[in-house]
Structure 1
Amino acid sequence: MSQDDTAPGQGSSPETPRRRGRKRVRTRGQRIRRVILVSALVLVVAAGGTAWWFWSHLNGNIKGVDINKALGEDRPEKLPTSGQNLLVLGSDSRAGAENKKLGGAVGVSGARSDTALVVHIPEGRDKAVAVSIPRDTLVTRPDCTKGDGSTVAGKDRVMFNSVYSQVGPACVVKTVEKMSGVRIDHYLEINFAGFKGLVDAIGGVNIDVKEPIHDKKTGLNVDAGPHKFDGTESLKFVRTRYSLSDGTDLSRIGLQQQFLMALLKEVKSQDLLGSPTSAYKIANSATAALTTDDELASLTSLAKFARSMNGVDPDTMETVMLPVEYDKIDHNRVVAVKSRADALWKAIREDTPIPESAKKSPALGQG
């Protein structure tokens, strides 16, 4: 009988008050296991809280625009063979001290759409076509509804990039749909000042500079050949214009197309799974620079869309400029060459190869 049992002859049951009140003594092994269990629970809760904070923070970075509500029902038909069509705008407010050094400054309310791409992703999503619309193109702006609900009457012969600053992104989408007949599925806006952080987060972007650039306005001075640009240099590169061979905005479009393709390639090459810290920095910079339509304005939706485009290779993406010629009234502006532009948009709508003639712009001396 153990030391805790009652003495012989007392006939007491082990369930005496003394037995029930006895304090249980834990072994050293039990204490260690309990500490490990509590510590594990704390780590799980902390990790879960941190993951939730990261997710919530990144999700909150993304700004959404209700394009569908603003456009209503008067839109091109969505064809079954049309794949996916995105309108990608590179906006540029040039507000702040640093931006004053990079080619002038305007207020945030005067932000401009310096780059506009209609990105067509065919069914199957293994290739893509990006059509640039020059910012100086004269277009017909349709009747539009602004973000505050007020309406703006349509107008002929307005500069394309003025639509964004004067009326807003939904009107840019409507203008593109009216001029092209292409149904825009999604809207994606990248703030040029914001992507400076993205470029730095991925460690720079490799660019093969086609001709020497010595630009007094932006301060970019590079020789022809391969270069790795950091965020500030990249911002200067996409804003360069006057130091190029012809000094026109059409030449700058070529630089911006080249840069965006290089940026996509660099992001795709990153080992995001191998470095969670780098992945977060890249995601934080990317989402902070983004404004999308409401359907894409969440990490879940963006991630799903990105996965669906995983087979698209930036190296095989075809870049085309809307075929334009100089306007006969205002030689500082360009207008679409109707027959060629019609052929280009028809190919995008019907998901067919773009005719070679639709890839040539008289404004660039291309017959």
Structure 2
Amino acid sequence: MTPTRSAGTDAGLGAGSTLRTPSPMTQRVMTRRGWFLVVLNLLVPGAAQTLAGNRRLGRFALGTTLALWALVVLTVAVYFLWPSVIFTAATNPIVLWVVQILLVGYAVVWIVVTLDTLRLVRFVRVRPPMRPAIAVFSIAALVLLTGTAAYGTMIAGVTRDTISNVFQAAPPEPPINGRYNILLLGGDAGPDREGLRPDSISVVSIEDATGKVSMFGLPRDLTNIPFSPESPMLANYPDGYGYDDYCDVDVCMLNSIYTEVTLKSPDLYPNALAEGSEPGIEAMRDAVEGALGIQIQYYVLIDMYGFEQLINALGGITIDVKERIPIGGSEDLSDVETWIEPGVQHLDGNWALWYARSRHGSDTGDYARMQRQREVQQAMIQQMDPANVLARFQDVAAAGADVVKTDVPQGTLGHFVELALKAKGQPITDLEFVPPTIDPEAPDYALIQQMTAQAMALTPEE
């Protein structure tokens, strides 16, 4: 009668042999057994212990492995069915903290079972030439997989810290008329400036259903600016800011509102700091809402001088340069260091900053600077794709935390990530309210609001 072989028998080890009790215990059998164990440990951590070692350890490691696989499969399924759930979880500090703990815990389990698998190999009975090969294979696999877990832990930690430092722990707001409207202020706080003032003022409007983006640019020298109906600024400027050259600072134009409120009347917005904003920013929000005739849910203030760090972290940006732009030099261009030449150029942070800020050359007006600054912003939006950001994530996150101030709540980030992916590749509608269409010294706000509503596919309220 032919004897029945027990479970776990491997025909390659010899008749009647199992991984737990190899027979005959020759170097050939033990070498095959050793390779089988280390490869099995790589593919299914815990399986080697279940078949050839401590079954309790094996069952625990198998349980954690199967739980990890199940979590990965569930994550992929949810991503394809409800991507917003994954984006929301990936931008939630508590979830990221849990992910860090799980990754560290699984890395520890992997280290324990890998070292235990090497013990089970019984190197003294393996063919001498194969001993270093099996050991190197196991250690390399261990380093690769635990290194991946460590990198994931680092990414989760950096993301959690950046989200906590930059974004607000506040409830999200719903879209208004199907859109999210975000005030984008490009503040210029370079070494030649005292304090920060918004030289670049625009609104990014995102259609919630499609992710389509419209951008509206307002010149900093806009005058007679109306305020939104509930603005505390209306008491002082019922006819508009700068009407009849009246204001409380030297120059009465749009970006002076930030300076005036910050320095002279911050008490008009007593809750601004507690809500993650500033009095000057809130006054600018009220002014832009009044000018465009829309509501603005959030703001983003970007230090243009700090742009250099962020653009370098992204690996530079690509711009289609229309006019020759000088880098350095005085107004008469007598001592220009070098030039940004026309054509498609890949600019590092320093050159991109010069491109956005340069006041000299053949195209020197404020409106030309506005357009170049908008080109830089759009290039960053288009080129900030997930793969590029992930590859440079630590540098991007560190630069972003230093450059960006916003009141966008943490709970909205996941949805905004989804909208950004929808917007990827779609053309951006760009409206600049500058001459000849709009005269900043005598602006037609009814026309501005009509153009804004048409661009957003909205009907202006009667």
User: Which TM bucket (shorter chain)?
Assistant: 0.5 to 0.7
Structure 1 residues 204 and 180: CA distance shift in structure 2, 3 A: same
Counterpart residue identity of residue 161, structure 1: N
Structure with greater contact order relative to length (CA < 8 Å, sep ≥ 6)? 1
Q: Is it true that 1:204 corresponds to 2:316 in the alignment?
A: yes
Change (3 A) 1:314 1:238: farther
1:301 to 404, 408, 412: 412
Corresponding position of 1:133? 218
Quote how far apart the aligned CAs of 1:153 are. 3.3
Alpha-carbon distance in structure 2 between the residues aligned to 1:340 and 1:287: 38
Structure-2 separation of matches of 1:306 and 1:253: 26
Answer whether contact 1:205 1:229 (CA < 8 A) is retained: yes
| Structure 2 equivalent of residue 253 of structure 1 | 370
Residue 142 of structure 2 corresponds to residue 62 of structure 1 = no
Please list the CA deviations of residues 142-183 of structure 1 after superposition, one character each: whole Å capped at 9, or x if unmatched. 49669xxxx993363221111123321011000111222201
For the 8 Å contact 1:84–1:121, the answer to whether it is kept is yes
Task: Tell me which protein shows more helix as a share of its residues.
Answer: 2
Counterpart position of 1:17 = none
Distance 1:47 1:316, change over 3 A: closer
Q: What code does the residue aligned with 1:345 have?
A: T
Match of 2:325 among 183, 196, 213: 213
- Which residue identity lines up with residue 62 of structure 1 in the other structure? V
Structure 1's 36 and 136: CA in aligned 2 closer, same or farther, altered over 3 A? closer
Aligned counterparts of 2:206 and 2:198: Cα–Cα separation in 1:
22
Identify which of 259, 267, 280 aligns with 1:165: 259
Q: 1:88 aligns with which of 184, 188, 191?
A: 184
Give the total of aligned pairs: 289
Offset at residue 352 of structure 1 (A):
6.5
Cα distance in 1, alignment partners of residues 425 and 412 from structure 2: 21
Give how far 1:89 is off: 1.1
Q: Which amino acid aligns with 1:162?
A: S
- TM-score, normalised relative to structure 1: 0.66
Map residues 91-130 of structure 1 onto 2, 5 A cutoff.
91-95=187-191, 105-108=192-195, 111-130=196-215
Q: Are residue 184 (structure 1) and residue 284 (structure 2) matched?
A: no
User: Alpha-carbon deviation of 1:62?
Assistant: 0.8
After superposition, what is the alpha-carbon deviation per residue over 1:162-217, rounded to whole angstroms, capped at 9, x for unaligned? 11233210110001112222011221121112221111111111112112122525
1:249-307 per-position Cα deviation (integer Å, ceiling 9, x unaligned)? 0111111121111111111274445x3xx1232233223321112xx243x53233122
- Provide closer, same or farther for how the CA distance between residues 38 and 128 of structure 1 changes in structure 2, counting only shifts above 3 A: closer
Hey, what does 1:240 align to over in structure 2? 358
Partner secondary structure for residue 311 of structure 1:
helix
Taking structure 2 as the reference length, the TM-score comes to 0.53
Closer, same or farther: CA 313–59 of 1 in aligned 2, 3 Å: closer
Matched, 1:316 2:427: yes
Is the contact between residue 125 and residue 309 of structure 1 (CA under 8 Å) also seen in structure 2? Answer: no
d(CA) in 2 for partners of 1:52, 1:327: 47
Change (3 A) 1:243 1:314: farther
Q: Cα gap change, 1:208/1:40 in structure 2, threshold over 3 Å: closer, same or farther?
A: farther
**Which 5+ residue runs of structure 1 have no aligned equivalent?**
1-27, 69-77, 96-104, 354-367
Q: Unaligned regions of 5+ residues in structure 2, if any?
A: 1-51, 59-106, 114-145, 243-251, 262-279, 331-335
Whose strand fraction is larger, Structure 1's or Structure 2's?
1
Is the counterpart of residue 153 in structure 1 residue 264 in structure 2?
no
After TM superposition, give the deviation of residue 133 of structure 1 in Å. Answer: 0.2
What residue is the counterpart of 2:340 in the other structure? 222
- Pick aligned residue for 2:452 from 345, 354, 359: 345
- Aligned residue in 2 for 1:285: 399
Distance 2:323 2:150 in 1: 53
Hey, what's the Cα distance between the residues in 1 that align with 2:157 and 2:435? 48
Q: 1:240 to 1:334 in 2, by over 3 A?
A: farther
Is the 1:261–1:315 Cα contact (8 Å) retained in structure 2?
A: no
- AA paired with 1:163? I
CA–CA distance in structure 2, aligned partners of residues 106 and 125 of structure 1: 40
Distance change in 2, residues 1:352/1:269 (3 Å): farther
Contact preservation (8 Å) 2:291, 2:449: no
Give, in whole Å, the separation in 1 of the partners of 2:450 and 2:109: 68
- Name which of structure 1's ranges 212-221 and 186-195 shifts more when overlaid on structure 2: 212-221
Query: Alpha carbons of 1:223 and 1:301: their partners in 2 closer, same or farther (altered >3 Å)?
Result: same
Whichever residue aligns with residue 351 of structure 1, its letter is L
| 1:221-276 deviations in Å (ceiling 9; x for gaps) | 1221121111111111110123133x210111111121111111111274445x3x
2:383 pairs with 1:266:
yes
**Paired position in structure 2 for 1:19:** none
Cα pair 1:144 1:153 within 8 Å, conserved = no
Identity over the aligned pairs, expressed in percent?
A: 21
Q: Distance in 2 between matches of 1:327 and 1:342?
A: 12
State the secondary structure of the residue aligned to 1:114: strand
